[in-house]
Amino acid sequence: MIISIAQAKVTDVNAIFKIEQESFTSLWPKSLFINEIHSEGSFVLCAKASRKIIGYICAMFAYDEAHITNIAVRKAYRRAGVATSLIKAAIEYAEKNSIIQSIVLEVRVSNEAALALYEKSGFEIISLRPGYYSDGEDAYIMQRHLVRG
């Protein structure tokens, strides 16, 4: 399967939202994805296979770091390298911004698959955020230092 990664457009939001619906119980509204696409302080990347959106990643810039805020892949395409490709593309995008020194994210402590994916992508657990999720589950904060420029 050939995967291409591109910046999301507003016309991609319906496909992104379908992935959001099949991936999470607490959903971002479509308007938030639109805001992220238009914001100069954020970026949204889509993974496509055969011109069909199969995954996305959202991140924002804050001070000297990028923060991955959301990532999801269609169920039929999970464990096929799509999330790895999205994370790699987000890291490359962030590294091109010369003021960014690291990229961070939160992940459920129970999400072993995501933890393994992030560790494989060079992220390390730097702290615990107790009760971070709406259901009370804790989150690990993970960070990866970037190569600048």
The predicted-structure confidence for 69-103, as pLDDT tens digits, reads as follows 999 999 999 989 999 999 999 988 888 766 678 99
Side chain identity at 68, as an amino acid letter?
I
* Sheet of strand 65-73, all strands in order from the earlier edge strand to the far edge: 4-7, 42-49, 52-62, 65-73, 102-108, 139-145, 124-129
* Ordered per-residue pLDDT tens for the chain, 149 residues: 789 999 999 999 999 999 999 998 888 999 999 999 999 899 999 999 988 999 999 999 888 889 999 999 999 999 899 999 999 999 888 887 666 789 999 999 999 999 999 999 999 999 999 999 989 999 999 999 987 65
CA distance 62 to 59: 10
Angle among Cα 39, 47, 146 to the nearest 5 degrees reads 65
CA distance 38 to 16: 15
3-state secondary structure of 113: helix
CA distances to 32, 40, 103 from 18, in Å: 14, 24, 26
What residues contact residue 43 under an 8 Å CB cut-off, 6+ apart?
7, 36, 58, 59, 60, 90, 93
3-state secondary structure of 16: helix
Return the residue matching tokens 């639109």: 34
Q: What is the pTM of this model?
A: 0.91
